[in-house]
Amino acid sequence: MMMLEYWNKAHICGLLSVRFGLTSYLEINTSTTGFRYAEARQLGFQPCMRLVYRATEPPLDGFPVDFTSADEDIAACLNDTRLKGRTFDIVFVDPHHTYECSARDIREAFRMVSPGGAVVVHDCLPPNRSAANPSFLHGEWCGVTYKAYIDFVLGNPDLDYFTVDADYGCGVILKPKGTRAKIKNWLRARRVRKLKDEWRSVGDDFDAAFDKFMADKTRLLRLVDFSLLRRKLR
């Protein structure tokens, strides 16, 4: 029997770092998400930092946490002098998967990522309706991070993005660098206006959003296979 390769979020960050020369890394996660920080450190990012909220216990990997919050409020972390005003080449987001936390974490990650860098968002491809429950569930829970991600990228249509069909879906948002990139992305944005209007029509109805998502996830996410991505980025 052939052994299938399993590509995870750390592999995707590593591939982006090699292809685009991305050298610094920030991870935003909770005590019950992430779990790949040790692999990120092995990739050699400098600096390699993390912000953990809903931090109910020390991380099992034994590595330090640079910024921490016991609840969902990360304002003090963002205002820490070591983080405030700083940018990173890759900001990896594996949030508490409510809409509010996901939307905030993606927004703050994009603010902190360097021009030419990437925000990588985990759990953008929930496998079923149960996993996409907007409220916390023990076990397989992607929540509505997928909706916060789509809302963000379609709400900022001059951005370039795609989603890797691996490890529950890893969204990649590329921050434009230079005028030429911004113009190119603006022209692309004109072609997705109809899709944006279709998605906006579901509003805050999570059931309707999931129905639309399942019917049109390839277009909404710009879904790509990891093996194909790996060939293109070599």
42-73 pLDDT tens trace: 999 999 999 999 998 888 899 999 999 999 99
Q: Where are the domains of the chain?
A: 10-232
Q: Is the pLDDT of residue 2 over 60?
A: no
Full strand arrangement of the beta sheet holding 67-68:
67-68, 48-53, 25-30, 88-94, 113-122, 170-174, 160-164, 223-224
SS3 letters for 8-55?
A: CHHHHHHHHHHHHCCCCEEEEEECCCCCCHHHHHHCCCCCEEEEEECC
Class of domain 10-232: alpha beta
**Predicted TM-score of the model (pTM):** 0.91
pLDDT at site 122:
97
